[in-house]
Amino acid sequence: GDKAFAQFLTDEIKEEKKIQKHKSLPKVSGGWELEVHGTEAKLVRKVAGETITVTFNINNSIPPSDGDETQEEQKPDEQEPDLTSTPNFVVEVIKDDTKQTLVLDCHYPEDEVGHEGEEESDIFTIREVSFQPTGESDWKDTNYTLNTDSLDWALYDHLMDFLADRGVDNTFADELIELSTALEHQEYIKFLEDLKSFVKCQ
């Protein structure tokens, strides 16, 4: 059984490498520096006395596919549809002269992705906003967290503009999807390779 498994993995890796769009990770425009630690990625850019950090994790970032229509519509020889990774991401804005960090928790609404052409709509939304002490890795649950569900629209729009002024806009969000998808695929191939060596190991 293990031999067949290893052979299957070998073929699978070959296939995945064939459809891999990016041999190296795509860049995000606007002068963002990328750091990757396993499945977690961090984008950093400094602007006029501020540091903006965007963090996301590719685990569980691929929305579940609707199993209903794929069966009938897919012709046997067709490629599987492209999987897209749309991770939640956290934006931290740190002003150099304060001890506060503004933290905005953003995500891609499931129904929005893929509806191009609607100029108005943003492809990501802000879910939560809070202040956290700068430099502390553990965020406190005692700090007030603003949930945007019941938020005044004008305030919400200002928050979105605030992010856009710092380079976190629809273009950025699109490029983040690109980057995250490439990173997810890279990690997936690596996982298959690790699994293959694990299975082959006697």
| pLDDT score at 82 | 72
| Both structure tokens of 72 | 């009938």
Task: Report CA torsion sign: 136, 146, 63, 120.
Answer: negative
What tens digit of pLDDT does each residue of 59-109 get? 999 887 655 443 444 444 444 557 899 999 999 999 988 878 999 999 999
| pLDDT score at 139 | 64
Q: Are strands 33-37 and 40-47 parallel, antiparallel or unpaired?
A: antiparallel
| pLDDT score at 23 | 81
What tens digit of pLDDT does each residue of 16-30 get? 999 888 788 899 999
Average pLDDT for 147-156: 91
| pLDDT score at 72 | 40
Checking if the pLDDT of 15 tops 60, the result is: yes
| Both structure tokens of 118 | 């609607």
Question: What is the pTM (predicted TM-score) of this model?
Answer: 0.84
Q: How far apart are the first and last CA of the chain?
A: 13
User: What domains lie within the chain, and their CATH numbers?
Assistant: 28-59+83-108+118-192 (3.10.280.10)
Residue 190: which pLDDT band, with cuts at 50, 70 and 90? very high
Q: How far apart are CA 71 and CA 14, in angstroms?
A: 24
Q: How far apart are CA 134 and CA 146, in angstroms?
A: 18
Three-state SS for the chain is CHHHHHHHHHHHHHHHHHHCCCCCCCCCCCCCEEEEECCEEEEEEEECCEEEEEEEECCCCCCCCCHHHHHHHCCCCCCCCCCCCCCCEEEEEEECCCCEEEEEEEECCCCCCCCCCCCCCCCCEEEEEEEEECCCCCCCCCCCEEEHHHCCHHHHHHHHHHHHHCCCCHHHHHHHHHHHHHHHHHHHHHHHHHHHHHHHCC
Q: How far apart are CA 125 and CA 187, in angstroms?
A: 26
Distance of CA 15 to the CA centre of its chain: 24
CA distances, 140 to each of 97, 130, 136, 147 (Å): 21, 10, 9, 16
